[in-house]
Each structure stands twice: as C-alpha cells, then as structure tokens.
C-alpha cells in the first residue's frame, strides 16, 4: 500500500475536562472517517490540554499555593497510558478503521509527560513517544522522556513516528528518526507561528518524508471561567490560532495552512514519492558520512530507582 489519504485534525481541547474533550474527539474522528482517511493526526496535548497563558503560580525562585492547585487540576485531567481513556481512543481508531496519532498529557505517578500515542486501525495501542525536551516553562509541569520511547513504527501504511513541537528542532533526534526509515513524520504542536511552516518544510525536504503537523485551535471559551489566563477573559480571545499543514517529501505544502478555526485537512499521497525524493538526498544513507560523523542513541528506559534481590 503506497497511495494513502492522510489527515491532520486542527482542534482544541476543553481544558481541564477530559471527558468533554474525548466527546469532541469522537466527533472529529467520525468526520475524518467520512473523508476516508487512513491516518489521522491530532495536536500536541490534545487530551489533557495545553494551558496556554497559565503561570502555575511561579516566579524564579518561588512557587505559590495557587500554582500547586493549578498543577493538581492539570494532573487530574491527565490520563494513564494504558487506561480507560486510551481504550476509548482506540475505539475511535477502530471505528475509523484508520491509524491514529494523538497528543496527550500522560500521568505517571505524580509526574506528567507530554506524549504522543499511536493506535492501529483495530484500536490497538501500538506505542507512545514522550517528549524529550519540554520548552521554556513547560519544564515546570512536564517531565522529560528518554530514549525508550522514540519509536518509528513499521505499519501497513508506512513507517510512522512523531516529534512533538520544538523537539523538531533537535538535529540528533531528527537524524535518529531518519535512520529508522520514517516516511510519515507526525508533528503534533501548539506552535502557531508562521516560521513553524518553514521548519516543517525543512524537515520534509531534509528527511525526504511526508510531514503531518497538527496544531490546536483554542479560544478562551475552551477554558473554565476560573482560568487565570494572562490573555484576559474575553471568550472570543484566540489562545492558539492553528496553522496545521501537510508537506510532501520535496518540501511542498500540499494541505493548509488554516488559521482561526477548527478544520480537518486531508491529502492524497504516494509513499513512492519518498523514494523518488531520496534519489539525490538520503541523509541517513548515501548522503551520510559515517567515516566522519557518528550518532549513538541510548534506547534504555531510565528508571529513577532500581530494585534488586
């Protein structure tokens, strides 16, 4: 199977209300299924939410009690992987009969991780990727992933992997995924800036891979009334404006960008275009110089405590 219909879903969360977000996701998946897609990608932190504009009661050197309450509320809206929420998401994939990639906030004990989950067309949870490097103040509320969750999954529709938001700016991560033969590069994000499109086009062109970048569209109305957001309280204020795109292996935008509304963007692609594009540039093959450069990837899970007997 080389010819596919793929989609990115530009949608926002109902912040701090995961059941409501899952209901919204069900409707988006139903609409994508009607488009006949075989792969759908949802944005970063779609399940669990991206609380843009929230300070979590922190200044350099101090954390205040209201921030601890914000963290507790955020933790409560996160999900276990696997768990009942992933079972429900899997049912969406099965109903679509499509592969599904979705950004979530994963709860592991008291620590939260920004993650991307991969589901097969039968609803099976195929794997997960935890964001390696949270950006800026994300580091206050998210832990760091390790090398054990940077998969490129070999599926019947191609080799699927994900890099979340500014992870896409990590050259070594990109090269490790190119070396695994990725041809469906999923980039869940909340980066709404125009320069993001240049980055997605660069990755597609550098890696000779299809890039599917799904960004949230979120307004103040998607957050609760007691959300202390520095952008203000006008329900129509746009917190994340979208800008989702799909890019070909030669860096051409083939769907999007779309701003300021929810949308499903689709494209009909041919994975043979990856091979055609690598004719003159394969950065993990004939264009690499292993006699000069080397990259080592530690895929071991890093547990903070190990018990022996």
pLDDT band at 229 (very low <50, low <70, confident <90, very high): confident
Q: Please, what is the average pLDDT of the chain?
A: 96
Catalytic residue among 52, 106, 114, 131: 131
Query: Is 278 part of the annotated catalytic residue set?
Result: no
Contacts from 199-203 at CB under 8 Å and sequence distance 24+?
199/168, 199/169, 200/168, 200/245, 200/247, 201/247, 201/251, 201/252, 201/253, 202/251, 203/168, 203/174, 203/247
Query: Is 229 part of the annotated catalytic residue set?
Result: no
Q: What is the pLDDT of residue 235?
A: 85
For residue 193, is pLDDT > 80?
A: yes
Q: Tell me the average pLDDT across 135-164.
A: 96
Catalytic residue among 52, 85, 106, 165: 165
pLDDT band at 5 (very low <50, low <70, confident <90, very high): very high
Q: Write out pLDDT tens, residues 79-115.
A: 999 999 999 999 999 999 999 999 999 999 999 999 9
Highest mean pLDDT among 94-103, 231-240, 297-306: 94-103
Catalytic residue among 44, 85, 167, 192: 44
Q: What is the pLDDT of residue 240?
A: 95
Q: Which of 165-169, 177-181, 301-305 has the lowest mean pLDDT?
A: 301-305
Query: Is 44 part of the annotated catalytic residue set?
Result: yes
- Topology of domain 4-280 in CATH is Nitrilase/N-carbamoyl-D-aminoacid amidohydrolase (3.60.110)
Q: Tell me the average pLDDT across 199-209.
A: 98
Q: In whole angstroms, what is the distance from residue 278 CA to residue 164 CA?
A: 24
């Amino acid at each position: 199977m080389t010819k596919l219909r793929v989609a990115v879903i530009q949608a926002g969360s109902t912040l701090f209300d995961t059941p409501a977000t899952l209901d919204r996701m069900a409707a988006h998946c139903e609409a994508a299924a009607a488009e006949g897609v075989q792969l759908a990608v949802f944005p970063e932190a779609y399940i669990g939410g991206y609380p843009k504009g929230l300070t979590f009661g922190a200044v350099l050197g101090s954390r205040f009690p209201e921030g601890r309450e914000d963290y507790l509320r955020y933790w409560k809206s996160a999900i276990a992987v696997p768990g009942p929420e992933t079972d429900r998401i899997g049912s969406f994939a099965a109903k679509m009969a499509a592969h599904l990639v979705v950004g979530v906030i994963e709860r592991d004990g008291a620590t939260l991780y920004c993650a991307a989950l991969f589901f097969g067309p039968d609803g099976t949870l195929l794997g997960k990727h935890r964001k390696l490097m949270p950006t800026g103040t994300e580091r206050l509320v998210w832990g760091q992933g390790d090398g054990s969750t940077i998969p490129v999954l070999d599926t019947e529709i191609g080799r699927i992997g994900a890099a979340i938001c500014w992870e896409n700016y990590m050259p070594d991560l990109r090269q490790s995924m190119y070396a695994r033969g990725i041809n469906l590069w999923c980039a869940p994000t909340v980066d709404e800036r125009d320069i993001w499109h240049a980055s997605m086009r660069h990755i597609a062109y550098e890696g000779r891979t299809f890039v599917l970048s799904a960004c949230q569209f979120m307004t103040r109305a998607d957050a609760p009334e007691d959300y202390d957001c520095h952008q203000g309280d006008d329900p129509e204020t746009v917190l994340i404006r979208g800008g989702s795109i799909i890019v070909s292996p030669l860096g051409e935008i083939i769907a999007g960008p779309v701003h300021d509304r929810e949308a499903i963007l689709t494209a009909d692609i041919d994975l043979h275009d990856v091979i055609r594009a690598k004719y003159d540039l394969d950065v993990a093959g004939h264009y690499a110089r292993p006699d000069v450069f080397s990259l080592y990837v530690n895929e071991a899970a890093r547990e903070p405590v190990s018990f022996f007997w």
